[in-house]
Amino acid sequence: MAEQAELLRYRMLIQLLPMGHMSFMKDGNKESYHARRKRVHDTIREFGVSIGLAKRIVYCYPITLLEKLIKETEKRQPSNPADYFLNGLKRSRIKYGDNRKRNRKRKFWSVEE
């Protein structure tokens, strides 16, 4: 049933587009960036990560990296998926280096009172 609905939606999309604008069909029906971000955020929340931390993670890390970590976490099926996902995130940061965007809120000087 879901496959038929997907096929119908795909056919309607093709009919609505002019023939010159079908270059995106080479790679298949790509998901928009916003939809990918929303899906990643919802999946991280399902793992048991808090709302604020999930927002910060989606803001700070590339979506492709997060999608890869989510896929690995779902493949392994750990007993505590939030810990497994966050440890994978920490290891990826160590492996690929730190990003300035992640450190934007960190204070670079000490505040003495």
pLDDT tens column, 55-76: 999 988 889 999 999 999 999 9
Q: Which residues of 78-109 are buried (b: 16+ CB within 10 A; e: fewer)?
A: eeebbebbbebbeebeeeeeeeeeeeeeeeee
| Secondary-structure percent of the chain, ordered helix, strand, coil, rounded to 5 | 75, 0, 25
Instruction: Decide if 109 is inside a domain.
Output: no
Mean per-residue pLDDT, 2-6: 74
The number of domains in the chain is 1
pLDDT value, residue 97: 66
Instruction: Decide if 93 is inside a domain.
Output: yes
Instruction: Decide if 5 is inside a domain.
Output: no
Mean per-residue pLDDT, 28-40: 86
Res 95 pLDDT > 90: no
Instruction: Decide if 110 is inside a domain.
Output: no
Q: What is the pTM of this model?
A: 0.61
By percentage, how much of the chain surpasses pLDDT 90? 43
Other beta carbons within 10 angstroms of residue 10's beta carbon come to 13
Instruction: Decide if 108 is inside a domain.
Output: no
